Amino acid sequence: MGANPVAVDYGMPLLARRGGPNLAKPYSNSDLMKLAVEEHLKCTEFPKVGVVVAKEGELLSTGFRGEVPNLHAERVALEKLSPSARIGATVFTTLEPCVSIQPSQVIESCADLIIASGVREVFVGVLDPNGTIYSQGFRKLLENGISVKFFQRKLREAIEEETFEYGVIEKVVGSGKRRVPVVGSGINITVQFSEADQRSIDISWGSLQPIHGCVDLLSNNGAVRIASGASKFSDISDPTVFRFPSHFARMKKGMIAIVQPKGATFCILIKLIDLFEKDIYFQWEVRNLP
């Protein structure tokens, strides 16, 4: 990730430039989005989340993930306010509010807290790519009569780059491991050989079937082969020995596939580590072809 890719020259923070939160001139929605990003940039842990709460352009409170240990940024900001001050407020959050994942969850989700607080409107930076949460917070707010809008496009792009530990979820560089959502029609990912080497191969994950323990790995032009018999990447001294190319591989936990499009000068070894209801966890390794 690049250093502070937010395409806004803040200089002195916006709040300081304005002289503090209690000015006669109200903040615009654009100002409040930028203030939320300023809170977001204070985070030292992932995913980064910044929040501001306002009412009719008056800044009421701020919060960021990590400001209070074990509390999400929405809760940090809202709990600085009295219950009456929350009613009719607008929340600006750089990441979609979470929803309850486990029935036994003790602390209510941020979406539930926002609903219970009587918040009127929520501006969201980016939807959470965690497949268990993706669009669920957005939908829950709408279903409970809360207006949901989104940050300006350039701010969304910058937030996407900085929010998650691995940056943009649709692109990976070099070798590594990642958990990604596979919802709806699936997810497309570009694998770039290295930071210095712009060569890339596109792969897709789709047709996740957690009940059957399988997911499809796809690539174009018969680029996918199963590395039959291999259980780890070091077992594969030459990826080109494997036969029976196909446009997809139905993968189960522990399987390894090789993606090598025609004309490519490198290949990708991919191992499915685990799969969940809406997510998969996989490892990949890029290799120059012999």
Structure confidence by residue, pLDDT tens digits, 76-97: 999 999 999 999 999 999 999 9
Query: Which pLDDT band holds residue 166 (cuts at 50, 70, 90)?
Result: low
Compute how many other C-beta atoms are within 10 angstroms of the C-beta atom of residue 207.
15
Q: Answer with the one of 95, 128, 163 that is the final residue of a domain.
A: 163
Closest CA to 51 of 116, 113, 142: 113
Yes or no: say if 135 and 246 are a contact pair by the CB < 8 Å rule. Answer: no
Query: Does the pLDDT of residue 158 top 90, yes or no?
Result: no
Would you say residue 133 has pLDDT above 70?
Answer: yes
Asked whether residue 19 carries a pLDDT value surpassing 90, the answer given is: no
Average pLDDT, integer, range 33-39: 94
Residue 32's domain spans which residues? 14-163
Dihedral pair phi/psi, residue 188, rounded to 5°: -105, 135
Residues 66 and 93 in one domain: yes
- Which of the four pLDDT bands, split at 50, 70 and 90, describes residue 220? confident
- Mention every residue, 6+ apart, whose C-beta is less than 8 A from residue 165: 46, 47
Per-residue confidence (pLDDT) for residue 12, from 0 to 100: 44
Q: Structurally, how many domains does the chain consist of?
A: 2
- Answer whether residue 8 is part of any domain: no
pLDDT level of residue 106 (50, 70, 90 thresholds): confident
Which pLDDT band, with edges at 50, 70 and 90, does 104 fall under? low
DSSP 8-state assignment for residue 97: P
Q: Report the candidate in 211, 225, 215 with the shortest Cα–Cα distance to residue 272.
A: 215
Both tokens of residue 272?
Answer: 């499915």
Residues 280 and 233 in one domain: yes
Beta strands in 5-115 (DSSP E): 50-55, 58-64, 90-95
pLDDT at residue 58 in the model: 94
- In a domain, residue 6? The reply is no
pLDDT of residue 167: 56
